[in-house]
Amino acid sequence: MSDRDNIFNCAQTPQPAECEALMALAHCINGHGWNVKKNPCRWKGVRCVGGHVVSICLPNKNLTGTLPDLSALSHLELLQLHTNNLMGTLLALAGLTHLKVITLHNNQFSGPLPELSGLTRLKVLTLDNNQLNGSIPSLNALVNLERLSLGNNQFYETIPDLTALGRLKILSLSNNQLSGQIPSLNNLTHLECLSAPHNQLSGSIPQLNALTRLKQLYLNHNQLGGPIPELKALTHLERLYLNNNQLNDTIPQLNTLTRLEHLYLNHNHLSGTIPSITDLNHLEKLYLNNNELRGNIPNLAVGGNGERLRLKWLYLDNNQLSGIIPSFKVLPRLRCLSLHNNQFCGNIPDFSLPQSLFNTDERKNLEWICLHNNQLSGIIPSFLTTLSNLKHFSIDNNQLTTNDPAVIEFINRLNPAWEKSQTFIKKIFLEGGIRYQTLRGDKVHSQSEIIIADFLYQKGINYKYELPLIAKGQIYYPSFTFIDEELGLVFYWEHLRRLTRPPSRQQWKNKLSWYRQQQILPYEQGGGKRGTLILTQEDKHGNVQPQKIEQLIDDILASVQQVKENMREKKYSLFSLLQTALLFYRKK
């Protein structure tokens, strides 16, 4: 601060008392670079009208110090000093009766909240993230208040009566030490956000049906009990957080909450069944875990307007749910699925089936699957290995088996402790159908498959063994799949056993028909637009002739090479060239 003689003479202004108040403020908060030689109405962040100070706006300026007596600023309407390092009490606010906006959040103010009943024009009061304490005084005189934010302080005792605040849109009381019951909210018909989590509130949740504009309701991490009140009138609700309380009884009907995005009811004592959620087309997060829910998982297939549900996080673990787990292929956005510690039975459901043959990205978001501690049984499906972004997969304490080394490796990589609890898997692997190892180290089903695999390997073909092929609700595992990357040609090799039994023959006919529907046609017919099917079969003794296998592979390689040469010389259809080449080498 400069010498007293160099300070602007407030007597020269129309409102010298207001000028002196600004000078005091400059002294108390380290000036903020204000030039005290100039008229304060010209300071940055200060606005005057007719000589009266109407606005002080200095957020996020690293200000320090305390607020002096500001009662002379009788025309002040806007006081924005949020996100600084100011401290001390807020007694200076009490007499500023023209104030409409006070934003002092993100500071270090302490002490009780002063009586503000004279601030009847106030619309916005944000004091969150300070160190204020004591009880919240009556606010019913603030009839124009639209936003009240007192979160992240140390307020205690009960929430005061709010019935006069009919214009209130946002009420935030989170992270305090408030206790007792929530007062009636029926008069707050303009309320859009009610946030009071992480307190010590008790009793039941009051009736909410009058709050038809409510979008966000956060009452989580309290001690609230009793049933969840009726919610069907809250048609604008987007976020509902009632988790970590002591709520009981059943979950009310939710079908009218069509804008709901987040539903957190976990860690309560809720019972009964899960209500239908198929009308909740915007729902992304559903947390019902750690309750006492029973019955099956409801239908998740299609939303009420025919759209797929948008669920990304589905947590139903630690309940008493039972029945067969439904397919989750209808939830393409699903990232986390937690169903452990229930009583589900049957097979592991389908997570991977896409809508079209070559759509392999549908499950790219799935990262977390927890199915442990249920009653699941059957074979662990191989398609799990196609979930490339999966980071956690737990199936411990079920009755699941596998003889697929790729599946075993996949599970052990994601859950190393699993192998120790599943020692019987090794026995199945050794005594089951996979006994033969190829030159490349793959485990295959038969000596015939070793011959095919080794020839492919020796001729430089990078094959995939039993890579899942998915389309139209079906999944098959061709013996070998390989692709010419340059041309994008796909070959599916089906090696058949002897097919001596009628059921096996019928099964193969169905499979061949399925291939044809996908436009994957046999090599003998020149292949199809979506792939070429190579068929080999064992003789009655279970053998194949190695020389025929080698010749077949050579013919395929030659046909592909011919296509490449023709493509360089002439502009023919890739499919027509391949078909011609395959037929030529097949008849040769």
How high does pLDDT run on average in the chain?
84
Reported as type and span, the H/E element at residue 512 is helix 502-517
- Same domain for 367 and 513? no
- Same domain as 475, residue 399: no
Is residue 453 located within the same domain as residue 521?
yes
Cα distance between residue 456 and residue 151, in whole Å: 67
The pLDDT > 90 percentage for the chain reads 45
Condensed to tens digits (0 to 9), the pLDDT of residues 271-284 reads 999 999 888 989 99
In a domain, 328, yes or no: yes
433-458: burial string, b at 16+ Cβ within 10 Å, e else: ebeeebeeebbbbbebbbbbbbbbbe
Take residue 78 and report the two structure tokens written for it.
């806007």
- Residue 31's pLDDT is 61
253 & 360 share domain:
yes
Final residue belonging to a domain, choices 432, 462, 482: 432
Residue 130 lies in a domain: no
pTM assigned to the model: 0.71
Q: Name the pLDDT band for 28 (thresholds 50, 70, 90).
A: confident
Q: Are residues 266 and 357 both part of a single domain?
A: yes
Q: Identify the three-state secondary structure at position 12.
A: helix
What is the spatial distance between Cα 503 and Cα 581, in angstroms, rounded to a whole number? Answer: 35
Do 521 and 557 fall into the same domain?
A: yes
Q: What is the pLDDT of residue 472?
A: 62
Q: What is the pLDDT of residue 429?
A: 36
For residues 414 and 391, give the distance between their C-alpha atoms in angstroms, rounded to a whole number: 6
Cβ atoms of residues 325 and 305 within 8 Å: no
**Cα–Cα distances in Å, from 279 out to 212, 265, 282, 288, 306?**
19, 18, 9, 17, 9
CATH code, domain carrying 398: 3.80.10.10
Longest dimension (CA), the chain: 115
Tokens at 468, concatenated: 């899942």
Tell me what pLDDT residue 500 has. 62
Query: Does the residue 68 lie in any domain?
Result: no
Residues 446 and 530 grouped into a single domain: yes
Per-residue pLDDT band for 433 (boundaries 50, 70, 90) equals very low
Residues 6+ apart with CB under 8 A from 408: 402, 419, 425, 429
pLDDT at residue number 482: 85
pLDDT over 70 percentage in the chain: 84
Q: Do residues 262 and 285 make contact, with C-beta atoms less than 8 angstroms apart? A: yes
* 157 touches 181 (CB < 8 A): no
User: Do residue 382 and residue 413 come from a single domain?
Assistant: yes
The domain that holds 570 is classified in CATH as 3.40.1350
Pairwise CA distance, residues 425 & 436, whole Å? 17
For residue 213, is it within any domain?
no
Task: Identify the pLDDT of residue 379.
Answer: 80
Which residue, 401, 432, 463, sits at the end of a domain? 432
**Rounded CA separation 277/271 (Å):** 17
Tell me: do 383 and 413 sit in the same domain: yes
Pick from 307, 343, 303: nearest CA to 325: 343
Lowest mean pLDDT, pick from 21-30, 120-129, 173-182:
21-30
In this prediction, residues 158-164 reach a mean pLDDT of: 96
385 in the same domain as 274 = yes
- 10 Å CB burial of residue 130 (0-12, 13-18, 19+) is buried
| Helix orientation angle between 546-569 and 574-587, rounded to the nearest 10 degrees | 140
Number of domains in the chain: 2
Q: Is the pLDDT of residue 487 over 90?
A: no
- Residue 171 identity: L
Q: Is residue 139 one of the residues assigned to a domain?
A: no
Show contacts of 162-171: CB within 8 Å, 24+ apart: 162/187, 162/188, 163/187, 164/140, 165/139, 165/140, 166/190, 167/143, 169/193, 170/146, 170/195, 171/195, 171/196
How much is the pLDDT for 471? 65
The model's confidence at residue 264, banded by pLDDT at 50, 70 and 90, is very high
Does residue 419 have a pLDDT over 90? no
Q: CA-CA distances (angstroms) from residue 254 to 212, 237, 335?
A: 15, 11, 23
Strand partners, 57: 80
* 180, 203 contact by CB (below 8 A): yes
pLDDT one-digit tens code per residue, 228-250? 999 999 999 999 999 999 999 99
User: In terms of domains, do 363 and 253 share one?
Assistant: yes
Question: What are the DSSP calls for 532-543, one per residue?
Answer: EEEEEE--TTS-
379 lies in some domain: yes
370 within domain boundaries = yes
Q: Do residues 469 and 531 share a domain?
A: yes
| CA–CA distance, 342 with 319 (Å, rounded to integer) | 6
For the segment 50-87, what is each residue's pLDDT rounded down to a tens digit?
Answer: 889 999 999 999 999 999 999 999 999 999 999 999 99
Looking at residue 432, its pLDDT comes to 39
Q: Is the pLDDT of residue 489 over 80?
A: no
**pLDDT at res. 579:** 52
pLDDT digits (tens, 9 = 90+) for 184-222: 999 999 999 999 999 999 999 999 999 999 999 999 999
pLDDT band at residue 569, thresholds of 50, 70 and 90? Answer: low
Residue 580 zone, left/alpha/beta (φ > 0; ψ -120 to 50; rest): alpha
180 located within any domain: no
Q: Note down the domain range covering 321.
A: 248-432
**CB–CB of 189/211 below 8 Å?**
yes
Domain C-terminal end among 386, 404, 432: 432
Q: DSSP string covering 266-297, please?
A: -SS--EEPPPP-TT-TT--EEE--SSEEEEPP
Query: Quick one: CA torsion of 443, 447, 449, 450, rounded to 10 degrees?
Result: 60
